[in-house]
Amino acid sequence: DQQVKQNSPSLSVQEGRISILNCDYTNSMFDYFLWYKKYPAEGPTFLISISSIKDKNEDGRFTVFLNKSAKHLSLHIVPSQPGDSAVYFCAASEAGTASKLTFGTGTRLQVTL
């Protein structure tokens, strides 16, 4: 049962344009969401997070939007740069004493020149 889904395995965007990566979840107990960037054979690097009490969080070129009613979140990267090319994972944790993350399957972003 995949509780966190990233339905687009890959995305190609031109440099300077906006990249939009999407994530859907099914578990209504999730209350904290994170985006990680990952290069092959390296550990995931934390990018940005959002609590379920918010609907938007911004950090530089990265903005995460949360739509709780739709159980959907998205990561916007503006403007996209070639160095952004990587696999992006959406992750979520449940309210409670354990903060383990449930990850989506990832979206490979390719930013072209």
Partner 1 sequence: DSGVTQTPKHLITATGQRVTLRCSPRSGDLSVYWYQQSLDQGLQFLIQYYNGEERAKGNILERFSAQQFPDLHSELNLSSLELGDSALYFCASSVTQGSGNTIYFGEGSWLTVV
Instruction: Tell me which residues touch partner 1 (CB under 8 A).
Output: 31-32, 34, 36, 41-46, 49, 51, 89, 91, 93-106
Q: Which is nearer to partner 1, 24 or 106 (CB)?
A: 106
- Rounded to a whole number of angstroms, the CA Rg of the chain reads 13
* Residue closer to partner 1 (CB basis): 24 or 80: 24
Quote the least distance from Cβ 111 to partner 1, whole Å. Answer: 22
Q: Distances from the Cα of 26 to the Cαs of 5, 82, 92, 93, in angstroms? A: 9, 32, 11, 12
E-assigned strands of 15-106?
A: 19-25, 30-38, 45-51, 56-59, 62-67, 72-77, 86-94, 102-103
Which lies closer to partner 1 via its Cβ, residue 80 or residue 89? 89
Would you say how long the chain is, in residues? 113
Give least dist CB 53 to partner 1, A.
10
Nearest approach in angstroms of CB 17 to partner 1 is 27
